[in-house]
Amino acid sequence: MPITLQDVAVRAGVSAKTVSRVINNQGEISEATRRRVLQVIDELGYRPNALARSLVSGKSSTVALIIPQITDPFFPEVMLGVENVARQHGYSVFLCNTNDDPQQELFHVDVLATKRVDGIILCGSRLNAEQLTDVARQHRVSILTSRDPVGSAVIGIPGEAGLCEITTHLIRLGHQRLAHIGFKIAEEKDRLSGYQRALRENGLEVDERRVVMVPRASIEAGRAAAKQVLDRAPELTAITCYNDLMAIGALQACTELGRRVPDDIAIVGFDDIPLASLMTPALTTMHVPRYQLGEMVMELLLRVIAADGPFEERLWIEPRLIIRDTCGARSNIRDSVA
Amino acid sequence: MPITLQDVAVRAGVSAKTVSRVINNQGEISEATRRRVLQVIDELGYRPNALARSLVSGKSSTVALIIPQITDPFFPEVMLGVENVARQHGYSVFLCNTNDDPQQELFHVDVLATKRVDGIILCGSRLNAEQLTDVARQHRVSILTSRDPVGSAVIGIPGEAGLCEITTHLIRLGHQRLAHIGFKIAEEKDRLSGYQRALRENGLEVDERRVVMVPRASIEAGRAAAKQVLDRAPELTAITCYNDLMAIGALQACTELGRRVPDDIAIVGFDDIPLASLMTPALTTMHVPRYQLGEMVMELLLRVIAADGPFEERLWIEPRLIIRDTCGARSNIRDSVA
DNA sequence: TTGTACGCGTTATCAT
DNA sequence: ATGATAACGCGTACAA
């Protein structure tokens, strides 16, 4: 149905190849024919068929972004970073939501392979190590993760160190009985480990009663989990969380249970999603540069694509602790100043 | 580099067409060869090339979703709805962010046409009527908008009626001096009109000093705008806003100016984004079923694609007023009950 | 400077 | 039940 190169060629009275040359600015072409061709292209509203082009070139100028939950406020900025860099380099991006389901993730990878994407970005993959390694081996992949680097092109969010820093900060503020609301996904235990390390390094006992692992990274899950820990360990004075959503849930739980934050109990999140600073009280959390992260994974993917063979590169971003109101540090400072 | 149909054919000792038949379950094939072919396909890890397929079939099983700002909390759920329906029907979806820029929007449309997407979903397009009509004419398009229906397949958010309802509600609560913080995009004035109509219908004067139109639908813009109106019209007791983000900005502005919400001033938003209910005080707003909206536009697009010719269909969703804390209605109720 | 022949991987048509 | 051939729209190699 659409206009083809041939149509243009015929109408312009030249060969298809000539039109092709004009479009791609290759080879010497007389100014006269060039103009005529361009004119016809415009007249007919001709658009080159990228599918045919890709079939020949072996490149589709298309990448994919696979994400567990589009609705998680962590991702929009990442997506924006990816999209911007992609567009600047002439790539379109497929958006794939896995709904936290490894099967759906694998399904998407399969479809994408079929569509011959030039590369795939995996954000917060829910695949296990073996599956992930497999995917990374069979496709050009750039990975954004907070787990131990699996695969050969990955950007890491240091969850272990982050949670250790958070927990240590709370301990320094005087907390001795701290909980952790963690996220139970394939093999990941980084943040939990960071929390535990901080406890150990500060001579505090690691009490399993004070840890709850939830299967979803949501406000609701955080809320339920917080109620659960507070029920079985009422002595708690602080709760560290896998991420901000869970922390916000914990915040709600505390309010509902009549525990004042931060006076009775401190809460700290992770990610610094836009919501964090808008909460009352504002959430203390680790800031993760999400937009930049998006740019980075996409740029990394570009390198993977360019390498066109074995490739290895691992980068870590540096989150930083943002002290707001839920950890009580601010009021302490005010107190000491007063 | 990848395995082709030919490779499979050779290895299985059959013709390419036979392999093709097996893959597509078409025609009668002996059980023996079918198995052998499937076996080889598995052995070689063959993946059909969707590009080649599309070239022949003229269908790419790909659609695009064009959005002004991915980071606007309004869109993630819409995207999810689109993505789910798309996947269920075998479509992949390109995500395109326009950064509120009509030029970028047109650029995207162009690229997508080149990639032969089967259809395009336009959400909150920033194009003017003429451009939009043009795009809708040249491509298979499904539109989600709160403007007057332009184009032939559109799902509308009744902004005029919505804001009239909001404003009327505030007037009934006793407010006489109401402001509107609007969104200045191509020709859209629906919500502003609704606000104005409510004033007129209730015998209140329409004062231009009480209206500010901002170019960005963001918290920051709302905050600045609120300060501006409150400065030039200090007598205000209520502010209606184009959407929740602006309302949240207005909320911040009021806090900073020492105006208590809702005691001194009422604020109402539009959309009911997740943030709305999490704010303190919780935001009164019009609820818009975003996930469902996403499903609807995608389903509409499927119909447009299936029609494969002239197509006309216009649907309206029904937002509903969610009364929370920023409009003062709740405390009034409490008062009357006490 | 421009054109011809062929191939990219797949499906459709028409045979066999 | 299976195969040969053409065609989808474009780019590359080689000619002219």
Say yes or no for a CB contact (<8 Å) between B97 and A115: no
Q: What would the DSSP string read from start to end of A83-125?
A: HHHHHHTT-EEEEEE-TT-HHHHHHHHHHHHHTT-SEEEEES-
B84 touches strand C (CB under 7 A): no
Cβ neighbours of A29 (radius 10 Å) = 16
Q: Are A305 and A313 in contact (CB under 8 A)?
A: no
Q: Distance (Å) from CA B56 to C1' D7?
A: 8
Which residues of A are less than 8 Å from B70 in CB distance? 76, 79-80, 83
Q: Tell me: the pLDDT tens digits for B111-122?
A: 999 999 999 999
Q: Tell me: the pLDDT tens digits for B299-317?
A: 999 999 999 889 999 999 9
- Of B2, B47, B80, which has the smallest distance from its Cβ to A71's Cβ? B80
pLDDT > 70: what percent of chain A?
97
pLDDT band with cut points at 50, 70 and 90 for residue B249: very high
Mean pLDDT of A87-113: 97
- Does pLDDT of B37 surpass 70? yes
pLDDT reported for residue B149: 75
Q: What does pLDDT average to over chain A?
A: 93
Q: What does pLDDT average to over chain B?
A: 93
Residues 6 or more apart whose CB falls under 8 angstroms from that of B88 comprise none
pLDDT reported for residue B11: 86
- Does pLDDT of B332 surpass 60? no
- Does pLDDT of B222 surpass 90? yes
Which residues of B are less than 8 Å from A280 in CB distance? 279-280
A:103-132 residues touching chain B, CB 8 A cutoff: 110-116
Mean pLDDT of B183-211: 94
Instruction: Say which nucleotide is closest to residue B16, CA to C1' distance.
Output: D3
A305 touches chain B (CB under 8 A): no
pLDDT > 90: what percent of chain B?
79
Q: Show the tokens assigned to A247.
A: 């922390």
- Does pLDDT of A274 surpass 60? yes
pLDDT band with cut points at 50, 70 and 90 for residue A308: confident
Say yes or no for a CB contact (<8 Å) between B92 and A93: no
- Does pLDDT of B258 surpass 50? yes
**Amino acid sitting at position B130:** E
Q: Are A296 and B266 in contact (CB under 8 A)?
A: no
Collapsing DSSP to helix, strand or coil, A266 comes out as: strand
Task: Indicate left, alpha or beta for A291 from its phi (over 0: left) and psi (-120 to 50: alpha).
Answer: alpha
- Does pLDDT of B147 surpass 50? yes
pLDDT band with cut points at 50, 70 and 90 for residue A151: confident
pLDDT band with cut points at 50, 70 and 90 for residue B1: low
Q: Tell me: the pLDDT tens digits for A191-245?
A: 999 999 999 999 999 999 999 999 999 999 999 999 999 999 999 999 999 999 9
Cβ neighbours of B231 (radius 10 Å) = 10
B20 touches strand C (CB under 7 A): yes
* B94 to A291, B86, B108, B222: CA distances (angstroms): 19, 11, 10, 31
Mean pLDDT of A285-314: 96
Q: Tell me: the pLDDT tens digits for A2-16?
A: 789 888 888 888 888
pLDDT band with cut points at 50, 70 and 90 for residue A335: very low
Lowest mean pLDDT among A187-201, A289-303, B6-20, B63-77: B6-20
B26 touches strand C (CB under 7 A): yes
Mean pLDDT of B113-132: 95
pLDDT reported for residue B177: 97
Q: Tell me: the pLDDT tens digits for A38-63?
A: 888 998 889 999 999 999 999 999 99
pTM: 0.95
pLDDT reported for residue B334: 40
Q: Tell me: the pLDDT tens digits for A247-259?
A: 999 999 999 999 9
Mean pLDDT of B109-137: 95
Mean pLDDT of A298-316: 95
pLDDT band with cut points at 50, 70 and 90 for residue B2: confident
Mean pLDDT of B2-20: 87
Mean pLDDT of A82-104: 97
Say yes or no for a CB contact (<8 Å) between A70 and B58: no
pLDDT reported for residue B331: 56
